[in-house]
Amino acid sequence: MSTKFAQQPEQWLGAPQQATTAHCPALCQEAQQLLANHGCTFSAADNQKHVQITYPDGTTKREIYPRLNLSEKYWVYFPDGYEIMEMYDWPRKISLLFYRPEPS
């Protein structure tokens, strides 16, 4: 099983930019372990209801167009080749992360 998502056509992607952090709802143990395996670090935020994720140095992201609502979607590319999708929800000011489990 691949750890990459289906790719969008190039014209649907914004310019690459540095990805540094994401403010997310608390993660399940599987997600936190998977992201830690790819170099992420975590700190508690908002009384344990949210977590601040710091991406490893060299992580980049590209916005996925078109924007359809009050959120922004990004492909996040880790230096080791792993990819996730991040959706930033403007009204709630949090990111939701979508990942694929790694093969066993």
Tens digit of each residue's pLDDT, the chain (104 residues): 445 555 667 778 889 999 999 999 999 999 999 999 999 999 987 767 899 999 999 999 999 988 878 899 999 999 999 999 999 999 999 999 999 887 76
Query: How far does the chain reach from its first CA to its final CA, in angstroms?
Result: 9
Give pTM, 2 decimals: 0.85
**Three-class SS of residue 84?**
strand
Residue spans of the domains in the chain: they are 12-98
Taking CA atoms, 79 is separated from 1, 49, 90, in Å, by 20, 28, 27
Strands lying side by side in the sheet with 21-25: 21-25, 50-54, 41-45
Pairing of strands 83-89, 50-54: unpaired
